Structure 1
């Protein structure tokens, strides 16, 4: 790493002793974790089943950490795909990183940019590992189909999807070259979750690297159950939880398409009102 400035060598010094990997201790523990994940998001059972199989395989193969195939979760807007992925990270005690392709559709946002650019910096992926010292975080790329082409004024391409391809392929992820540090890192343990509302808009090279999981719309009963569980977890009063459920079950609400985002907003608002009640 002699080509690096001292300040950059110092930033990488934290990796001298390696990083930890979130590990699944036993197949029984895999069953427990996925049962909890399913209990929180029963309507996302197809995705949870893939995680369950990956957890059990990690144990059987004797891997030093949990690793699952890159997931492509395809389903309607607002059913909780990203929330599910973040909760998975919480359960296995791995950090999560969420990238919104609609707002950050250039490659340097996630993988970094080469030196020579005025805003050159490591990408969010590398920053996450340096911050948490965990080699198998849950990395979520939301609405990947909306990541359009990005070009510099000189015609150079900074396509987000193209930059992800070597990271999604096991053969190349294990010796990934960071554009900023110009040092190779093993990114083969990262757990990728890509979400989309229409998988047919994605390129074949991307889809071929992922396990596609088709998901359905979430129903009112599932949203009510989620509100009850989250209400208990947030220690909301019974009155607040019942008010949220009444709103979800109201005929006018049912006439509209409900989403998990709506429920989370209601929960956030209830917590805010209980913490800082409005003056009468």
Structure 2
């Protein structure tokens, strides 16, 4: 079976058309069909070389390419072919993987299943995706690496909202909880909808929230993961002195381990978890462990994350579906390549009515006087209290409520 549909014969028919209006129409129709077929073939090649991971993504890419001028598609196809001399084999591999999905879908749509669903005859359950191809075992399975490879090679579930309505409800709840963060939330809302259109599942491009301590940056990221149903992990830049927690360490070391994204995917059986890197600017470079901020770079660019070669697995794994949210108090120490890979949003403390509603919501259920709410609001606006301090006050009020009344 050929990889691509055969191109039409560009030489045309050997029989010369008669010089009549009907003959000209037939010749024009033949040339039009031939041009359309060549356009579609180039669009097909280009779509395969973009390495789509699902049929939905391939369909999106193919339809977009067919709607663009043929000259544009040809130029983009030549760029991809020049970038990878083995493009025919690559396209064949992608096509074969997509045909496996097509065979699975032809048996009828079903429930997305669970992360423990077994692969039958090479098929991938609906709502799952393959991220890793376990290489053949070589020698002794030291420290369980082969077991990790086999586990990662099984289909992983795609978590999070799957329809525009679910995305809208998710961000409506986030807007209600953090109205002072409306700009990054509005951006994330639109990117989530874009991800559904392109891929069919939830994923956000890398995001950097820049603001003072205690303004709700990390809390927003955690609530996003919680409300979206995504597994999450949090890395602390202030205590990180090496790059190994990000990218993993070489298997030759006795203390080797995979990076955080690989670990989280393995433990959750979810292909698109969310990783929070808190206070990323405070990561420290060590002489032997590398710079954690530099180690981030491959994960923040989708093309490189899709074929990240894990030093622990010593094999590529697709991490392009992981959402990364970084927070920072300043831009000091953050390189230009890192900033070029993220969308930056300066954020601050809530003020005015936003702050007052937040205080009331946090203290909801506690018997707190309106004057106390006004005083807390004033303290936060004056910089003498942070949102973390507000949580501590909430605990203090609860403790006071438990004390016995004295008569």
| TM-score range normalised by the length of the shorter chain | 0.7 to 0.9
- Residue 140 of structure 1, CA deviation: 0.9
- Is 1:149 paired with 2:285? yes
The 5 A counterparts of 1:129-278 are: 129-152=265-288, 157-199=289-331, 201-219=333-351, 221-232=353-364, 237-239=365-367, 245=373, 248-249=376-377, 255-271=382-398, 277=402
Structure 1 contact 24–55 (Cα < 8 Å) conserved = no
For the pair shown, which has the larger CA radius of gyration, 1 or 2?
Answer: 2
Secondary structure at the counterpart of residue 208 of structure 2: strand
Matched ranges for 1:85-124 at <5 A? 85-124=221-260
Question: TM-score normalized by structure 1?
Answer: 0.85
**Counterpart of 1:102 in 2: which secondary structure?**
helix
The offset of 1:13, in angstroms, is 3.4
- Matched residue, 1:81: 217
Distance 1:244 1:12 in 2: 56
Q: Distance in 2 between matches of 1:217 and 1:254?
A: 8
TM-fit CA distance, 1:23 = 3.8
Q: Which residue matches 2:150?
A: 13
Residues 219 and 9 of structure 1: is their aligned pair in 2 closer, same or farther, counting only changes over 3 Å?
same
Q: Which has the higher contact order (CA 8 A, sep 6+)?
A: 1
Q: CA 1:46–1:9 in structure 2 vs 1: closer, same or farther (change >3 Å)?
A: same
Normalised TM-score (structure 2)? 0.60
User: What are structure 1's unaligned runs of at least 5 residues?
Assistant: none
Report the Cα offset of residue 244 of structure 1.
6.9
Gaps of 5+ in 2: 1-134
Give the 3 Å change call, closer, same or farther, for CA 116–52 of structure 1 in structure 2.
Answer: same
- Return closer, same or farther for 1:151/1:53 CA change in 2, 3 Å cut-off: same
Native 8 Å contact 2:162 2:200 kept in 1? no
Q: Given that residues 261 and 319 in structure 2 are in contact (C-alpha distance below 8 angstroms), is that contact kept between their aligned partners in structure 1?
A: no
Decide whether the 8 Å contact of 1:223 with 1:263 is kept in 2. no
